[in-house]
Amino acid sequence: MRLLVVKFAKLRGALATTAAFRSLRERHPGIAITYVTRPGAEPALAGCPAVVEVVACGPEEGAWPLLAHLRRQRFDAAIALGAHPLARRLVALSKAGRRVCAGRAPVWWRPFFHQEIYGLPVDPHEAACDHAVCAQAFGFQAETPGMWFSAAGMEEHGLLVEPGRFAVIHPGCSHPDRLLALEKWAAVARELLATRAVERIIVSAGPADEERLLAEALCGLVGPAATATGGRLSFAQLARLLKDARLFLGVDSAVLQLAAAVGTPVVGVFGPSDYARARPWGTLHRVVRIDTTAFEGEARADYRARMERAFERITPLQVARAADELLRISA
């Protein structure tokens, strides 16, 4: 079966969809998926054997050349995940044998779809939502599995570390309001080393200058047992590093989801972000987070100020205890 999936997502959102692909592959072993997404999200699909082609397209770019390419593929089915108008337009005009839309399509596009899927009582996690849409579209029932980044898609990272004897900390994030203070991460790292839970701390970072500087600063606070990746690892190399780690610790980011996808125990620290949609999925985990419930009648500015103060109240002891509990369970 040839399947077209269109979802304009970033790394985290693209990775979440692979849970549905795992179930589809079990029921259709020969399935070949073409995935259309935003530029930059392609590495998330490199570890999913069911995906044979990834097409990157900015939603603001002209869609006619892409549409012509998709129509020539003669897909058996096409699914638009998410509510982006271009995703629905591409699927509606794809000439696929069966066209499915997640959510309600605009009135003028409804005649182009064979099925609209909405109102499903599912877990709000993005992986569970995408899986529920695919399950409804293809008529199967199954628990949402873990996300999929297979060993075949991994690459050697080149770091001199012994598997199972180190922890990875990823302190960076593209959202400044989701960052935990470096001093707190340093205290957690020193506790892990002092209790001999691990022998080394690897501090990972993306290619952005801000993340690389955060990682270098954290290594300086931890001491000689810490090593920074310097933003040099690709997503596939980072997947191998995380697979070899005994533990991953980090804030809400695509790297946290990658750690969950490769089966590494995860300690997630969540501030004012959508915890229910982006929590670790499909692996052993513990979460330290703040309550993001708004008070009745609370002004938005007051809510934002309270969230910033609340995140600051997360302590290194909370994170270290979560790590210790997870290590004892995973052992």
Averaged pLDDT, groups of 10, the chain, 331 residues long: 95 96 95 96 95 87 84 96 91 96 92 93 92 94 94 93 96 82 96 95 93 94 95 95 97 94 96 86 93 82 79 91 94 78
| Co-location of 141 and 162 in the same domain | no
| Co-location of 249 and 302 in the same domain | yes
| Structure confidence at residue 5 (pLDDT) | 98
CATH number at residue 246: 3.40.50.2000
Measured at the alpha carbon of residue 293, what is the angle toward residues 292 and 296, in degrees to the nearest 5? 145
What secondary structure does DSSP assign to 79-105, as a single string?
EE-SS-HHHHHHHHTS--SSEEEESPP
| Structure confidence at residue 62 (pLDDT) | 66
| Co-location of 245 and 323 in the same domain | yes
| Co-location of 174 and 138 in the same domain | no
| Structure confidence at residue 6 (pLDDT) | 96
| Co-location of 245 and 199 in the same domain | yes
Q: How far, in Å, CA of 279 to CA of 285, rounded?
A: 9
Joined together, the tokens standing for residue 75 give 């897909």
Contact 36, 57 (CB under 8 A): yes
Q: How far, in Å, CA of 158 to CA of 240, rounded?
A: 10
| Structure confidence at residue 185 (pLDDT) | 96
Give the closest residue to 118 by CA, choosing from 131, 106, 101.
101
Residue that is last in its domain, among 151, 171, 200: 151
| Co-location of 308 and 172 in the same domain | yes
| Co-location of 305 and 196 in the same domain | yes
DSSP state of 53: E
| Co-location of 147 and 185 in the same domain | no
| Co-location of 59 and 208 in the same domain | no
| Structure confidence at residue 63 (pLDDT) | 78
Contact 45, 22 (CB under 8 A): no
Greatest Cα pair distance, the chain, in angstroms, is 64
| Co-location of 202 and 146 in the same domain | no
| Structure confidence at residue 60 (pLDDT) | 65
Joined together, the tokens standing for residue 64 give 């006619």
Question: What is the span of the domain harbouring residue 51?
Answer: 2-151
| Co-location of 323 and 186 in the same domain | yes
| Co-location of 118 and 181 in the same domain | no
Contact 79, 98 (CB under 8 A): no
200-203, strands of its sheet edge to edge: 226-228, 200-203, 166-170, 247-251, 266-270, 285-289
- Rounded to a whole number of angstroms, the CA Rg of the chain reads 21
Residue that is last in its domain, among 151, 184, 210: 151
Residue that is last in its domain, among 104, 133, 151: 151
Determine the number of helices (DSSP H) and then strands (DSSP E) in the chain: 11, 12
| Structure confidence at residue 290 (pLDDT) | 83
Number of domains the chain contains? 2
